Chains A and B, each alone.
Chain A
Amino acid sequence: MEPLSHQEAADGADPELPPALLPRIGDAAHAGMDEESSAWSVFDISGARGLIARIAAGDMPDGWTRALLDAVRVVDIDDNALRALGPIGGRRRMVGAPVTVYWPAESWPVLAELIFAELADIPGAARTRKIVSSVFNDATVNISTDPAHPDLVFVSVGGGVTDKRSLWSLRASEERYRTLIHHLPWALVLVDSTAMLPIFDELRTAGVTDVGAYLDANPGLPFESRAIVRVTDANRNAVELFGAESADRLIGPVDYLFAASPDTAKRVITAHFDGRRNLTEIMKLRTFDGRLRDVQLSITYPTPPERLDVTLLMFEDVTERLQTEVQLRQLQEEYARAARIATLGELASSIAHEVNQPLAAIAMNAETSLRWLARDEPNLAKVEQLTKRIADSARHASEIVQRIRGMAGRHVPKRTALDLNRVVEEALMFVCHDIEARGIQLGVKLDIGLPRVLGDRVQLQQVVVNLLVNSLQALAGRPHSQIEVTTSGDGFGGVRLSVRDNGPGIAAEDLHRVFEGFFTTKQDGMGIGLAVCQSILAAHGGGISAANQAQGGAFFQVTLPPVTD
């Protein structure tokens, strides 16, 4: 027997593969289908005989179509069927597998009924049926047997493409698509999630609307679906990303995709159930050779949603990018900290004054208490009152020290929901006395009821301090100098902070450079204050702008987005 030219005919010498049976199809092709445009498969039904006998005897259990096809094994397929059913899995992988692994689920009932009709020899039952399938489009499926091979059925699917020219153009277009998919710079995986359809239907019938909550209550579902939803195709980059020896490894249940990120699997199912068109998130991926990678997963769900066979999963390895970002953030924090320490140095006398005030009050109150106690009749009520004040002042001093430590210390930026007004008040502590000492009039107008912003307390304090220091330096030696700090909503749900002064303003030619690192117009300035402000705000998703006021003086404006859930 001359074997048909299989895609993998090159390794046709593999002794495990049964001799090709497909030459027989010439004899079996009697349904008038064009052989060239048909897809042929040969199935071994020996494992399903018991079930067929049961059904023939009138016992038709629920889900028998699937049970039957699970028991039916692939013996051989031709190139067309290989293309249609398991292009990457390959013939070698398909042979011996249950039919359910490769056959499109929406056509399981038709195929099972045909097999049953043929083997149970139901008189009058059709041996040719129409199917509408995601894999075959509108097609006709035909079944036949051969007395010489009682355990085999021959299944041909055809009619989807009837004219040879269109078959060839279809193949050419398929090749183009395949080339495109394989050479895309991202790891691409095609998933057939047809099996989710009945599960989703069941959930909807049961009245489930919030599948996220349902999954939390029934943690089994993601695992179940991960086993029945299948990868049907994968490109070269996917093979490389997963550290697989060949694409074969990637074809099959989607389990391995989410092995390191079970929560992602949950969100994927939820988005699918909710009818979303796509989903993007960063997840951890465990490769076949045991490495853990950070990848960005982008899913494009099928359109229309009924075409569940073509969910597209794209993975981009972002491990290095994330590492670089972490390093960059560390560098930025080092830089910001250096700037903070420099600023603290400049503000040393102001800060010393701030700490010294409560200490002076403590010393004096302690002295006064001792005097009340030394009397013949100690005034204990007074001592109690003064001791409370001592405790308050000590706490106040400690808070100030905490804040200074926060500014000077190394810290990992931490995002919390912050009241910008409070941040401004805290920042003023560092600068207040410098401002007063220079006879600058400070106006503070804080809009109460601002939405909270997500940010790092110390870094945002730093922004406010830098802007204030910038202003007070610009005002040096000028009479009637004023600084005004205001907070307000930005009209887009975010928050705005403005710092204005009546100093000389910013020279027009410098306006575009004020946020550049090491740009300064001051003789002893380092030019890092405003650059740090900008990098801090960029990291917070906010912005900063510099302008001159019409009446003179600089005007800095900071915007920050509100906290979003």
Chain B
Amino acid sequence: MSRPVVIAIVDDDLAVREALCEFLQVEGMAALGFERAAAFLDRASEFDCVISDVRMPEMDGLELQRRLRACGSAMPLIFVTSLADETACAHALRNGAIAWFAKPVADAALLGALRVALGNTGGGA
């Protein structure tokens, strides 16, 4: 019995975090938000995919990606950010990120990336 898909949202902005969670819920996915990358990393094993901001206090998204990989996790990672930094974007994609979206992200594009991330299951349990 497969457990339902749970997606982690890591963003220091409450409004953005909540909006992403709500969007995933209407699409039939369970989502849980984290304000800090470190808090997510502590519970990383509980999730099927992570959507993360890049610029965040204490630990940024790229460092989150590095640590996730360092502990052997292959969890799909999607970046959603206001940071217009091609170097950082290239770096993230080279290290296996599924996608890098500029905020505000188009819903269809995000869903497409999630489908890829979750192995074309189209979401849902």
**Residues of chain A at the chain B interface (Cβ within 8 Å):** 349, 352-353, 356-365, 367-368, 371-372, 382, 386, 389, 392-393, 396, 433, 436-437, 439, 441-442
User: Which of chain A's residues have a CB closer than 8 A to the CB of B104?
Assistant: 356, 359-360, 362-364
**A372 near B55: Cβ-Cβ < 8 Å:** no
| A interface secondary structure, majority | helix
**Residues of chain B at the chain A interface (Cβ within 8 Å):** 13, 15-16, 18-20, 22-23, 25-27, 55-58, 60, 80, 82-84, 103-105, 107
Q: By CB atoms of chain B within 10 A, which of A352, A357, A371 has the most?
A: A357
User: Which of chain A's residues have a CB closer than 8 A to the CB of B15?
Assistant: 357-358, 361, 389, 392-393, 396
User: Which of chain B's residues have a CB closer than 8 A to the CB of A362?
Assistant: 19, 104
Shortest C-beta distance, B51 to chain A (Å), equals 11
User: Which of chain B's residues have a CB closer than 8 A to the CB of A364?
Assistant: 16, 19-20, 22-23, 104-105, 107
**A360 near B103: Cβ-Cβ < 8 Å:** yes
Shortest C-beta distance, B122 to chain A (Å), equals 15
**B22 near A386: Cβ-Cβ < 8 Å:** yes
Shortest C-beta distance, B54 to chain A (Å), equals 9
User: Which of chain B's residues have a CB closer than 8 A to the CB of A442?
Assistant: 57
- How many A-B pairs have beta carbons closer than 8 Å: the answer is 75
Task: Give complex CA distance A437, B54 in Å.
Answer: 9
Task: Give complex CA distance A367, B106 in Å.
Answer: 9
User: Which of chain B's residues have a CB closer than 8 A to the CB of A396?
Assistant: 15
Q: By CB atoms of chain B within 10 A, which of A368, A392, A437, A439 has the most?
A: A368
Shortest C-beta distance, B86 to chain A (Å), equals 13
Shortest C-beta distance, B74 to chain A (Å), equals 26
Task: Give complex CA distance A360, B56 in Å.
Answer: 16
User: Which of chain B's residues have a CB closer than 8 A to the CB of A389?
Assistant: 15, 18-19
Task: Give complex CA distance A344, B33 in Å.
Answer: 32
**A353 near B18: Cβ-Cβ < 8 Å:** no
Shortest C-beta distance, A288 to chain B (Å), equals 68
Task: Give complex CA distance A35, B21 in Å.
Answer: 110
Of chain A, the residue at the smallest CB distance from B24 is A368
User: Which of chain B's residues have a CB closer than 8 A to the CB of A437?
Assistant: 55, 60, 83
Of chain A, the residue at the smallest CB distance from B20 is A364
**B82 near A365: Cβ-Cβ < 8 Å:** no
Given contacts A361-B13, A364-B23, 17 further A-B contacts (CB under 8 A): A349-B83, A349-B84, A359-B103, A360-B80, A360-B82, A360-B103, A360-B104, A365-B19, A368-B25, A382-B22, A389-B18, A393-B15, A396-B15, A436-B57, A437-B55, A437-B60, A437-B83
Shortest C-beta distance, A377 to chain B (Å), equals 13
Task: Give complex CA distance A367, B26 in Å.
Answer: 10
**A361 near B27: Cβ-Cβ < 8 Å:** no
User: Which of chain A's residues have a CB closer than 8 A to the CB of B55?
Assistant: 353, 433, 436-437
Shortest C-beta distance, B83 to chain A (Å), equals 7
**B107 near A367: Cβ-Cβ < 8 Å:** yes
**A356 near B103: Cβ-Cβ < 8 Å:** yes
User: CB within 8 A of A361: which of B19, B56, B84?
Assistant: B19
Task: Give complex CA distance A392, B13 in Å.
Answer: 13
User: Which of chain A's residues have a CB closer than 8 A to the CB of B16?
Assistant: 357, 360-361, 364
Quick one: given A357-B82, A363-B104, A433-B55, are A439 and B19 in contact (CB under 8 Å)?
Answer: no
Q: By CB atoms of chain A within 10 A, which of B25, B60, B105, B107 has the most?
A: B107
User: CB within 8 A of B26: which of A371, A393, A439?
Assistant: A371
Task: Give complex CA distance A384, B13 in Å.
Answer: 21
Of chain A, the residue at the smallest CB distance from B55 is A437
Q: By CB atoms of chain A within 10 A, which of B19, B60, B82, B104 has the most?
A: B19
Shortest C-beta distance, B30 to chain A (Å), equals 15
Nearest 4 pairs of A and B residues by beta carbon:
A363-B104, A360-B103, A361-B15, A364-B19
Query: Could you name 26 residue pairs across A and B whose Cβ atoms are closer than 8 Å?
Result: A349-B84, A353-B83, A357-B16, A359-B103, A360-B16, A360-B80, A360-B82, A360-B105, A361-B15, A362-B19, A363-B104, A364-B16, A364-B19, A364-B22, A364-B23, A364-B104, A364-B107, A365-B23, A368-B19, A371-B23, A371-B27, A389-B15, A392-B15, A436-B56, A436-B60, A437-B55
**B26 near A368: Cβ-Cβ < 8 Å:** yes
Shortest C-beta distance, A361 to chain B (Å), equals 4
Of chain A, the residue at the smallest CB distance from B53 is A357
Task: Give complex CA distance A359, B57 in Å.
Answer: 20
Task: Give complex CA distance A160, B57 in Å.
Answer: 89
Task: Give complex CA distance A361, B80 in Å.
Answer: 12
User: Which of chain B's residues have a CB closer than 8 A to the CB of A439?
Assistant: 60
Of chain B, the residue at the smallest CB distance from A440 is B57
Of chain B, the residue at the smallest CB distance from A375 is B26
Task: Give complex CA distance A178, B83 in Å.
Answer: 79
User: Which of chain A's residues have a CB closer than 8 A to the CB of B56?
Assistant: 436
Of chain B, the residue at the smallest CB distance from A436 is B57
Task: Give complex CA distance A169, B60 in Å.
Answer: 91
Of chain A, the residue at the smallest CB distance from B23 is A368
Task: Give complex CA distance A386, B80 in Å.
Answer: 20
User: Which of chain A's residues have a CB closer than 8 A to the CB of B57?
Assistant: 436, 442
Of chain B, the residue at the smallest CB distance from A390 is B19
User: Which of chain A's residues have a CB closer than 8 A to the CB of B60?
Assistant: 436-437, 439
Task: Give complex CA distance A386, B26 in Å.
Answer: 12
User: CB within 8 A of A365: which of B22, B27, B83, B103?
Assistant: B22
Quick one: given A433-B55, A442-B57, are A372 and B103 in contact (CB under 8 Å)?
Answer: no
Task: Give complex CA distance A437, B103 in Å.
Answer: 17
Task: Give complex CA distance A365, B82 in Å.
Answer: 17
Of chain B, the residue at the smallest CB distance from A363 is B104
Task: Give complex CA distance A357, B55 in Å.
Answer: 12
Task: Give complex CA distance A342, B29 in Å.
Answer: 46
Shortest C-beta distance, A429 to chain B (Å), equals 12
Shortest C-beta distance, B8 to chain A (Å), equals 16
